[in-house]
Amino acid sequence: MSSSPSHALLQSDDEWDVRNRVLSETLTELVLTESSKEASKALDIGCQNGWTTDRYAQLTGLDWVGIDPALQEPQKSPNGIDLHPGFSNKLDFPDDSFDVAMLANVYEHIFPEDRVASFREMRRVLRPDGVVVGQIPNPYFPIESHSRLPFMGWLPMRAQKAYWKL
């Protein structure tokens, strides 16, 4: 990574990988401590390309499935986990299908008017003793967790949109 001042605040790819690894380890620790000992199936809501879904499967031993609205058609993660197009407020799974619903850096992307419906859908597809595990980034942390842009969360929304386009 360049040491020029313009790049000094941005995370390197290695730093980004460490961040994602630590996040997946922390969240799967919660899955293992909070889910039923009989848990077997889990849903990764907002799975993107499935890299973290693969990591969750590796760390928990559960059978994972992922959904993401950016997916245009069903596909497989790098390790072969099924990934489907889908939205959190309309989960295309039968009732009581999962023991865990993972919501990592996703809640803030759910439109406010869809959040209640999303949690109802999660409740519907979770078994009676199922759990939702997730993480919501701090919007005021100096480095915004999605774009990796410094001080993004400190700007008014209009300025954030312009900054994002840079």
Q: Can you list the domains of the chain with their CATH numbers?
A: 11-135 (3.40.50.150), 140-166 (no CATH)
Of 164, 45, 143, 36, the residue nearest 103 (C-alpha):
45
Distance (Å, whole) CA 163 – CA 145: 14
pTM of the model: 0.81
How confident is the model at residue 67, as a pLDDT? 98
Contact indicator for 67, 91 with CB cutoff of 8 Å: yes
| pLDDT tens track for 37-51 | 999 999 999 999 999
Output phi, psi for 165, to 5 deg. Answer: -70, -20
How confident is the model at residue 5, as a pLDDT? 44
| pLDDT tens track for 109-136 | 898 899 999 999 999 999 999 999 998 8
